[in-house]
Every structure is written in C-alpha cells, then in structure tokens.
Structure 1
C-alpha cells in the first residue's frame, strides 16, 4: 500500500498550477513537516535546513497547530511535487514493488550529482527556480540524457 505522503505528492505533481496555488494560499499545517520528514526517512531538522525554514518558528507553529506562511508552504509543495514526479516516473516504468518515492528523494537530495556541477539536489530545493531545475533534471534523467 502506498504511503499517504506519496499519494498526496502524486496528486500535487499531477495537479494544475492553479490547483497548487490554491493549496499554497490555503497554507499547510506546520505539523505536516514532521510527517513529510518521517516519510523521507530524514530528520525534521534536516528537512527544515534543506527547505531553509526557521526551525524554532516551525516547531512553535507545529506545537500551536498553526499554519506555515505562504512562502514556506510553496517550498513544501514544490518538494512534494518532486516526490510525486519520481513516484509517477517509477509507476510508468512498471516496476514499483518495494519502491518508496519519498525515501528515494530523501536519499537523492544528499548525493552529489555530477550533472549539477557536483552539488547535491538539496542545494537547489529552497527556491522555486531550483525546484524547477531539479524537476527538469529528473525528466531528462528518465529520458536517458544523463545515462
């Protein structure tokens, strides 16, 4: 059975930009970051660092049941879209048994990539431009451009 985070990530990836904007404007509970970090098999503090989110503020909001700012929510949605993109790519390849897209992205973010000049994908996740670059990189990887 597919994890809830991965199902949500696929929905976000397949959603129209207008649908994503509506979700971002509604904002996301700060507590969602703990669930996302757990699904990616990384520490919440590491996820906050990767997304350049203030740890103390996010933890306080989480305890209070508060929402992330629109800017923070946009970063989270962008990361979840990358997870969704990976999940869809693997599904389309036909070999999903034992594959966890969220965990794979969690590991991939920390690995230096020669095609990114030796930088890690995590170095690009905190901005929308960086997330678009990573999405394009994943699409080209699938097409075998970097194979």
Structure 2
C-alpha cells in the first residue's frame, strides 16, 4: 500500500497561488512511503519543468535526505559517488536520512540540479521521438563521467558541486543535443 504525501487544497475553497506552488513542488518529487521501505520516486521531467519560483520554494523547504539515496539508485551509482560528485558530506546526509530530515537549501539545490539534468536529458530524448528503453538517469550518470573537449578534457561531474557548474553542464547537454558538441 502506498501513501502519497502532497499538499492538497480543501475542496471547500479555492487554492491560493502559494498553495498551488506548494502542491506543484510536492508533486514534482512525488514522495511516497511504502510498507516495505521508505522511498522517494522522483519524476525527473516534472523536476526539470518546474517553474523557477516553485523551484526556489522547494529548495528553501529542503528536499528529503533520502532523495539522494533514491537518485543514486536510479542513476545506478553508489550514493558515495553521488555524494562526492555533489560535494555533499556523507556523514551529514546519512544522519539526515536516518532521522528522516530534509537537506539544507544548499544541499537541496545540488540534488535538484542533478534531478533537473536527468529530466532535461529525458525531455530531449522524448522530443527526438525515440524514448523507448531509454534510462535518462543511467545515461546522465555515464555522461557526467566522460571527459569532454568542451570542458578542456574535464568530466561534467567535476562541475556538479556548484550552481554555476551545473548551469555550465546543462548548457553543454543542450549544445550536445543540437550538435554543437558531439
């Protein structure tokens, strides 16, 4: 049995803009608790498509720490590798996972940056018309580990620990899709 957490407006009144943003932010992460184990199912495309102000709200609230573990699982990498890529302190994140706490805004921003990158890749593939059997999360994990001529031979993963670095990587992905960098 799954229980979905979301902020749902009352049926007896209209939703305020703030309630709509909160509901959209909650839906973007699609948090679920199962009887077998706690887990986070991330809809990467929803995270990628979230409105900027909603994203800021989500970052300020902090994403659940176990989002990092689920993201690593979906990317088929170890959580330690993801911690290193994002510059996240392992002990702190592990403690927050155990205590079922949210990440700090800075940590949330980095984690959502990767989720948005996966959503970006999925959107590009969907728009190309050939999304069958494409695992965007695994593809991004592999792509981040590849040295890129556009980055002077560095791997995109080396830039994922800052917002500016993530913007550079997202731009590189966009240019690669357009054929600017193959």
* Structure 1 and Structure 2 fold alike (TM over 0.5): yes
**How far apart are residue 119 of structure 1 and its match?**
0.4
How far apart are 1:48 and its partner, in Å?
0.5
In the other structure, the counterpart of 2:134 is 99
Decide which structure has greater helix share. 1
1:74-85 mapped onto 2 (5 Å cutoff): 74-85=109-120
* Partner of residue 93, structure 2: 58
* Whole-angstrom CA distance in 2 between matches of 1:88 and 1:132: 17
Higher strand share: 2
Instruction: Quote how far apart the aligned CAs of 1:12 are.
Output: 1.5
**How well do the aligned residues superpose, as a CA RMSD in angstroms?**
0.9
- Structure 2 gaps of 5+ residues are 1-40
Match of 2:30 in 1: none
Rg (Cα) greater in structure: 2
Q: How many residues align?
A: 142
Corresponding residue to 2:173 among 138, 141, 144? 138
Q: TM-score, length-normalised on structure 2?
A: 0.76
1:121 corresponds in structure 2 to: 156
Q: Tell me the equivalent position of 2:76.
A: 41
* Unpaired stretches in structure 1, ≥5 consecutive residues: none
TM-score, with structure 1 as normaliser: 0.93
Instruction: Give me the whole-angstrom Cα distance separating, in 2, the residues matched to 1:84 and 1:54.
Output: 25
Runs of 4+ in 1 over 6 A off after TM superposition: none
- For residue 105 of structure 2, the aligned residue among 70, 76, 83 is 70
Question: Taking CA–CA contacts closer than 8 Å with sequence separation of 6 or more, which of the two structures ends up with the larger relative contact order?
Answer: 1
Shift in Å at residue 59 of structure 1? 0.4
Alignment partners' CA distance in 1, 2:157 and 2:175: 18
